[in-house]
Structure 1
């Protein structure tokens, strides 16, 4: 049995790991490298393996940095089966179609507006997107079996697979693989992204009792999150304070999980009279609207208390002043509202989507607020604002940053350092751990905190297990 690493190595995005056993090639995730690089060289480079040789893809969850290069895999010759949970299948379709659409738009925009400092004789330069809509739709043809948590299934005669609830986003899983090779049983667990315990919507992350090898994410391996209740209270304070001072609140939001969690807390804040019942909330993201509808179709995947709400016909994501803005005209109309609006718009790192238009209107107004509720990679617009930039460039306009900036990291869908250590400790008899999905310095810190042999793989590095 051997494993090789082809993404998210000493880096936070681009998850992609290849397991080879008894002649079968299994890819775990095939994600996009993110951080303003969606169309850049890294995503377009060869995978480090031949796509047509891959027999199966096991998909941990539907975030772009885990599923975003699947259409490229198909485009380059993959003919195998993609296996995941039913919720991940629905959400991944949404994410891949959205990514294809954005890439087509971006390629068209760049072709029409080449950098003016060179090629000025050339009226337009042809820029190719990584993949297009038809590639994303075609990828869905390769999705085969859907999996239920805890129910083992045979991948081949000698390889069996079990998905465990990772508690990260709806349908997310840690994937346990058991294989018999030369009459010896070997087991390996791919953590996927690990969620937080005690969160209101999803169940706590699970692990099998014992495993030989663990491939583990370390996104927040060097820090602790603020307490969840403090984070919720700060969100309420930011909204009330801003609305009382005549401004709007802009929340750059990730369409999956974060949006639904914030909607849930806005709903609860109004119910508990911590927010005004007249609060107007605009969900300005077609993708987040669709994702919320997918969430509503899978009540069985939530915590017991949320399931009961659905059973009693109470939708935890619906609140009195909620407006869905699917059409571009609706989105533009929001910017005519000068005060009293909570505007939730994609993308969470402000690398694209409609949020940049709202920032263009609100960032320079001292009575407004921007509330960041998620991770922002280096090099993204969100990170520049969080790091205290006095001015930022949006749509070729240099804008002063005068709005109040809040960074509320307690909403992260990723486990923090203490939760990650605890997750690892629950698994018995680990022979080796491979750290992925984190900055190199973070991994070096985290490595000291867990027991046993720990490797920090480089890109395309191969290990024999």
Structure 2
């Protein structure tokens, strides 16, 4: 059996791992690699023949794990794609959104030039539908036989609705081996989502390392942070709080937390707008799979009603409604995507409010280096938006209390569930070199054998 790390090797995006048996090839995740400006062109090429893959197993719906599936299908993959039911629903939403982004980039052209000058889309809506036709959903904790020599179980891992760690049991040459892929590890006590469950003992573990060496804030609760920020921005002063948030996962956790705050009467009533069509679709998926939300969320539903619907909250649907939010002059909270400010309706709200002294922009997620969000967080006094240079007069804040990734302690907890005497090796992926090295050092001190593979590196298991 051979394991090849085809993506997310010493970097965060592009998760893709190939497990090759004598006569069967399994691909774990097939994500978009965003590390280069030319990522659309770069993601056209696979280090293997797509037609040679027998099955794909998807850990969760985020685009850096699912976003290149339609390309795989377009280029010849004819097998099944296995994942949980919520992952299937969220993946369809995200892949359709990717098509819109590709087409938008293709249609962009410099001022004064004719025709389309952007990169050709990686795939179109037809390819997404072809991809969805190949999905077979598997419930958590259900033993599933892929063939007579390979069985699988999906373990809840937090991070996103439907996200799973994959545990494979493989019989080969008269021996049985078990290998687990964590996907992205969530954190305990996260709004709406279940805590990561224990991964059973395996022989090999492929573990993410996004926040190796990083520790989340523990001094304050999320509710306290939001109450203070809303009070300072919208209650004491007639201002507006703008929260850039990823549409799937982060927005639902934020809306639920705000629901708890206002249902308890901890703040005076403040209008809240969710301005993201993608978030609206995703919230319906969360409602559909409500039985998979955490016990606290389900208890809230039983006593207070829908976690994602309350008096102060309005979901914005079309562009006209979005513009009316910009013209709303009372204190308010605007939740909009994209989380890094690199597109979406959030740019409209930013454009009209970045020079507003009574506006606060609260970042609740990671902003990649070089993005507009990153430039604001590092304190740039001027930003360029819609071909205009705008002075930054708004207050810029950040909290990591809604980060969906487990920190160093969470990752070590997953690792330490494994008996170091029985676990032959851990492969660290999905993290930059410094993060990986921090996690590697801690794991080695605990007695584990660690590899930090290069992209394309193959290991005999």
Same fold (TM over 0.5): yes
Query: Aligned-pair distance for 1:227?
Result: 2.1
Q: CA deviation at 1:20?
A: 0.9
- State whether structure 2 residue 110 is matched by structure 1 residue 113: yes
2:437 corresponds to 1:444: yes
Instruction: Tell me by how many angstroms 1:256 deviates.
Output: 1.5
Which of 374, 378, 389 lines up with 1:387 in the alignment?
378
Q: 2:120 aligns with which of 121, 124, 128?
A: 128
> 1:18-97 maps to which residues of 2 (within 5 A)?
18-34=18-34, 37=37, 40-44=40-44, 46-97=45-96
Per the alignment, residue 12 of structure 1 pairs with 12
Q: 1:194 to 1:322 in 2, by over 3 A?
A: same
Query: What is the CA–CA distance in structure 1 between the aligned matches of 2:122 and 2:384, rounded to whole Å?
Result: 25
Is it true that 1:457 corresponds to 2:456 in the alignment? no
Q: Is the 8 A contact 1:113 1:124 kept in 2?
A: no
What CA distance in whole angstroms lies between the structure 2 residues aligned with 1:127 and 1:12?
23
Specify whether residues 61 and 228 from structure 1 end up closer, same or farther in structure 2 by C-alpha distance, changes over 3 A only: farther
Give 1:64 shift. Answer: 1.1
Q: Secondary structure at the match of 2:168?
A: strand
Which one of the candidate residues 417, 427, 440 is aligned to 1:426? Answer: 417
Q: C-alpha offsets along residues 259-312 of structure 1, whole Å, 9 cap, x if unaligned?
A: 1111011111112222222x1111110110110111011121012232233345
CA contact (8 A) 2:199 2:414 kept: no
27-36 vs 65-74, which deviates more? 27-36
Q: Kindly tell me: are residues 305 and 123 of structure 1, through their superposed partners in 2, closer, same or farther at Cα, counting changes over 3 Å?
A: closer
Residue 138 of structure 2 corresponds to residue 147 of structure 1 = yes
What's the counterpart of residue 265 of structure 2? 273
Q: What is the distance in 1 between the residues matched to 2:288 and 2:204? A: 35
The 2-side partners of 1:192 and 1:124 are apart by 37
C-alpha separation between the residues in 2 aligned to 1:191 and 1:294? 23
**What TM-score comes out, normalization by structure 1 length?**
0.94
How far apart are residue 323 of structure 1 and its match? 1.1
Contact kept? 2:290, 2:298, Cα under 8 Å: yes
Q: Name the counterpart of 1:206.
A: 197
Q: Distance in 2 between matches of 1:407 and 1:220?
A: 17
Among 149, 163, 167, the alignment partner of 1:172 is 163
**In 2 relative to 1, CA 208–125 (structure 1 residues): closer, same or farther, beyond 3 Å?**
closer
SS in 2 for 1:449: helix
In 1, the alpha carbon distance for the partners of 2:237 and 2:176 equals 64
Q: After the TM superposition, which residues 22-421 of structure 1 pair with which residues of structure 2 at under 5 Å, given as runs?
A: 22-34=22-34, 37=37, 40-44=40-44, 46-109=45-108, 112-113=109-110, 124-125=116-117, 127-144=119-136, 146-227=137-218, 229-243=220-234, 244-277=236-269, 279-311=270-302, 314-421=305-412
Q: Secondary structure of 1:236's partner?
A: helix
The C-alpha deviation readout for 1:157-209, integer Å capped at 9, x for no partner, is 10110000011111110000110110111111100000111224222101333
Offset at residue 228 of structure 1 (A): 7.8
Residues 302, 400 of structure 1: CA spacing in aligned structure 2 closer, same or farther, 3 A cutoff?
same
Q: Specify the SS of the correspondent of 2:216.
A: coil
- SS of residue matched to 2:442: coil
Contact 1:39 1:129 survives alignment (8 Å): no
Once the two structures are superposed, what CA deviation does each residue of 1:388-410 show, in whole Å capped at 9, x if it has no partner? 11112222222222211111001
C-alpha contact (below 8 Å) 1:26/1:56 kept by paired residues: yes
Check conservation: 1:177, 1:187, Cα contact below 8 A.
yes
Kept in 1, the 8 Å contact 2:216–2:400? The answer is: yes
CA contact (8 A) 1:218 1:420 kept: yes
Contact 1:173 1:192 in 2 (8 A): yes
* Structure 1 residues 79 and 72, CA gap change in structure 2 (3 angstroms): same
Give CA-to-partner distance per residue, 1:310-364, whole Å, 9 cap, x none: 3457111112121111101111111112341111111111122111111111112
- CA deviations 1:406-446 (Å, max 9, x no partner) are 11001111101111111110122211011111111111111
1:89 and 1:407 map into 2 onto residues whose CA distance is: 31
Structure 2 stretches lacking a partner, 5+ long: none
TM-score, normalised with respect to structure 2: 0.95
